[in-house]
Amino acid sequence: MSVPAVTVHRGAIQQVVAASGEVRAKGQIGVLPKVTGRVQVVTVDVGSAVKAGDVLIEMESEMPTLQLQQAQANVDAAEARLAQVQAGGKADDISGASLAVQQQELRLRQLQQGGRAEDINAAEDALAAAEA
C-alpha cells in the first residue's frame, strides 16, 4: 500500500458537513392588533425572526380616526339627550342620562388610548340602548 507524501504548510482548515433536514420553530405566538382596520405595510418577511417590540405591520390611520370621531359623536348625542331630560324630565331620567354621558366619555378616553374595535362596537350598542 502506498501513501502519498505531501509537504507540510500552514493554512486554514476547511471542514464541510452536508446534511439535509427540516427546520422548525421552537414555538409560535398569535399576534392580535389593538385596533381593526386595513394593513398598509408589512414590515417583516414570512418566517423572519422577530422580538418583542418589533413593528410587524403598519395599519391605515383612517380607521382609528373614524372610530374616535364616532365615539365623540356618541358623547355629543348623550350630552344632548341629557340636556333634553334636564329641561323637563324626572329625576330618574336625569340620572340615567347623566350616567350615559359619563359612560360614553369614559369610552372615548379609552379609545383615544388605543381601544379595540370590539370595544368600540360594544360602546356604540350601549349608547343606543341608553338613548332609547
Per residue in 64-100, pLDDT tens? Answer: 677 777 777 778 877 777 777 777 766 666 677 777 7
Q: How many domains does the chain have?
A: 1
The answer to whether position 93 is within a domain reads yes
Q: Which domain does 79 fall in, by range?
A: 62-131
pLDDT for 11 equals: 87
Neighbours of 81 (CB within 10 A): 21
Distances (CA, A) of 55 to 26, 33, 131: 21, 11, 40
Residue 119 lies in a domain: yes
More confident residue, 107 or 2: 2
pLDDT tens for 95-124 read: 777 777 777 777 777 776 665 666 666 666
pTM of the model: 0.31
Q: Is residue 96 part of a domain?
A: yes
Could you read off the pLDDT of 8-65 as tens digits, one per residue? 888 888 888 899 998 887 887 787 777 677 888 899 998 888 888 888 888 876 656 7
